[in-house]
Homo-oligomer: A and B are copies of this chain.
Amino acid sequence: MTIQLTRRYSFAAAHRLHIPRLGEEENRRIYGKCNNPYGHGHNYVLEVTVSGPVDPATGMVAHLGELDHFVEREVLEAFDHKNLNEEIAAFRERVPTTENLCIEIYNRLRSFPAARLARVRLEETSLNTFEYSGETDGSPS
Contact = CB atoms under 8 A, between A and B. Distances in A.
Interface residues of A, number: 61
B40 A135 contact: no
A80 B33 contact: yes
Interface of A, secondary structure class, is mixed
Given A3-B130, A136-B2, A125 B40 contact: no
Contacts of A43: 41-43, 125-126
A127 B5 CA distance: 10
Contact of A81 (B40, B126, B128): B40
Contacts of A95: 58-59
Interface in A17-74: 17, 19, 30, 32-34, 36, 38-43, 53-54, 57-61, 63-65
